[in-house]
Amino acid sequence: MAKKKHICIIKNTQEHVQPSHFSQFPTLLEQFRSEYSFDYSIIPHHLINQAHLENVDGFILSGSEHNLSLQEVEHLFSSEIDLVKATDKPVLGVCFGHQLIAKAYGFPIVKMKCKHEKNNHELKLTINNKFFLCDKQNICVQLDHEEEVLYSSQLEEVFDVIASSKHCKVQIIKHKSKPHIGIQFHPEGSDKASNEACEDGKYMLKNFIRRV
């Protein structure tokens, strides 16, 4: 019997905080298990250790209420940053997790000029055969962030920038040689997400799980 894939969700929220975004993950993953054979675990970011690199087939890095532009927050998540640097396994970073992937490769996180990008938006994707999460040209997504990955020409030497929005140049990134993907939006949705955003988000999450 083939071994089940194991996906680790790294929880980047504080223990006493249960935002509506993060709470959707277990519900969605339970739905997906009826289609794909896999197990999953949820690990708080401060409990990451070397065993997770060895015993996990893929990682999902959650969103967070923290601001990664602050040096003390970067230090707080140093173990997770080190994990991203060390692993060649598939990684999907969501919102804060997306920014954390960029930070792991040395790129700065900054406050947005528009202060807060939120609600449902349509993104146009630059389609190429390197991006396996979605083969659609346009997707509806739910945004909720106050910080962003600072765009630069150096960033595009390491990552393919797959999508941008009016206020955020770096909405989706795909590492050029590793299966590391960051998405600034919330594919897991929430009670404020539109039906289109929920469906497109589920589609991308399922594709990640399928390819782990």
Which residues participate in catalysis according to the annotation? 95, 186, 188
CB count within 10 Å of CB 28 equals 18
Distance CA 62, CA 43 (A): 10
Alpha helices in the chain (DSSP H): 24-32, 50-55, 71-76, 78-86, 96-104, 155-158, 195-211
Distance CA 56, CA 153 (A): 33
Distance CA 77, CA 122 (A): 31
CB of 103 closer than 8 Å to CB of 78: no
CB of 118 closer than 8 Å to CB of 111: no
Phi/psi at 57 (5° precision): -95, -20
Angle at 77 between CA 177 and CA 105, to 5 degrees: 25
Distance CA 78, CA 1 (A): 37
